[in-house]
Amino acid sequence: MTTIAVLIGSLRHDSYHAKLADHIQHTFPHVTWTRVSIGDVPFFNEDVEREGDPDAVQQLKAHIRTADGVLILTPEYNGSVPGVLKNALDWASRPANDSVFLHKRVGIIGATPGMMGTIVAQLHARHILEAMRASVVPHDALHISRVHELCERANDPDTFRYVDRYVTRFIDYVNEPLAANANEQSLKEE
Ligand SMILES: Cc1cc2nc3c(=O)[nH]c(=O)nc-3n(C[C@H](O)[C@H](O)[C@H](O)COP(=O)(O)O)c2cc1C
């Protein structure tokens, strides 16, 4: 069974991203979705890292290491990714060039009550993950605007059809054989 670790960039109790994660979990029960808590991860500090990863970091890394892919659901804060998500990614990016994210297949979903669909935050997330040499879903993105209106119509099966389409493609990407992935192929040939 495919296992996907889920990171949510919002700690808010009524987070729309958590609601979207609930929908995804419910719609794709053939996947094992593992929600990884990032709210307990302390601020990254190389001195602390040198003494050993704190428990929350060990758990974060273990979930990502054992997962076939990682799905990130994140809001945009002031035109970028929330600090809590960047902090978790910084911990998980270590050791550099041999991290749990190396070649890991990653999907990104972002939603906002506003009109711009978290476009900039998603570009930043992709840039950060590429710096970590993760493999972000190529040629595909999901920008959700007016998310509060979608959540009001959550019982209509049509409401989340774009979410379902993106997640279907992401699961296919996670399950693609290694050699079929152009990024990884080019890295192997270096
Ligand atoms: C500090 C902060 C900055 C925000 N900046 C943006 C932004 O740049 N773009 C945007 O579309 N929404 C922005 N928002 C609104 C969020 O999209 C909104 O709060 C969203 O519901 C957060 O996701 P959540 O429901 O999962 O917590 C911001 C919210 C906060 C708290």
Backbone phi, psi, residue 78, to 5°: 50, 45
From the alpha carbon of 19, which atom of ligand 1 is closest? Answer: 26
Q: For position 189, what pLDDT does the model report?
A: 46
Cβ(17)–Cβ(10) under 8 Å? yes
Cβ(5)–Cβ(36) under 8 Å? yes
Q: Does a structural domain hold residue 183?
A: no
> Does the CB atom of residue 77 touch ligand 1 within 6 A?
yes
pLDDT of 167 strictly over 60:
yes
Tokens of 68: 């076939």
Residues across the chain: 190
Of 60, 132, 59, 72, nearest to 102 (Cα)? 132
Which protein residue has the closest C-alpha to ligand 1 atom 27? 15
pLDDT tens sequence across 49-95: 999 999 999 999 999 999 999 999 999 999 999 999 999 999 999 99
Tokens of 142: 């999901």
Q: Which residue spans within 14-85 are E strands per DSSP?
A: 32-36, 69-73
- Mean pLDDT across 15-31: 97
Determine the longest span between alpha carbons in the chain, in angstroms.
51
State the pLDDT confidence band at 101, using cuts at 50, 70 and 90. Answer: very high
Which protein residue has the closest C-alpha to ligand 1 atom 3? 77
Structural domain range at position 33 = 3-39+66-177
State the pLDDT confidence band at 183, using cuts at 50, 70 and 90. Answer: low
Q: Does a structural domain hold residue 44?
A: no
Exposure class string for 46-55: b at 16+ Cβ within 10 A, else e: eeeeeeebbe
State the pLDDT confidence band at 22, using cuts at 50, 70 and 90. Answer: very high
Q: Does a structural domain hold residue 70?
A: yes
Q: What is the DSSP letter of 157?
A: T
State the pLDDT confidence band at 187, using cuts at 50, 70 and 90. Answer: low
> Does the CB atom of residue 113 touch ligand 1 within 6 A?
yes
* Distance between CA atoms of residues 159 and 171, nearest Å: 20
Q: How many domains does the chain have?
A: 1
Q: Residue 110 sits in a domain of what CATH number? A: 3.40.50.360
Round the average pLDDT of the chain to a whole number and report it. 94
- Mean pLDDT across 152-178: 95
Q: Does a structural domain hold residue 23?
A: yes
Q: For position 179, what pLDDT does the model report?
A: 61
State the pLDDT confidence band at 97, using cuts at 50, 70 and 90. Answer: confident
Q: How many CB atoms lie within 10 A of CB 138?
A: 11
> Does the CB atom of residue 186 touch ligand 1 within 6 A?
no
Exposure class string for 76-111: b at 16+ Cβ within 10 A, else e: bbeebbbebbbbbbebbbbeeeebbbbebbbbbbbb
Q: Does a structural domain hold residue 117?
A: yes
pLDDT tens sequence across 124-157: 999 999 999 999 999 899 999 999 999 999 999 8
CA of 22 to the centre of ligand 1 (A): 19
pTM to 2 decimals? Answer: 0.94
Q: For position 178, what pLDDT does the model report?
A: 74
Q: Does a structural domain hold residue 130?
A: yes
Q: Does a structural domain hold residue 188?
A: no
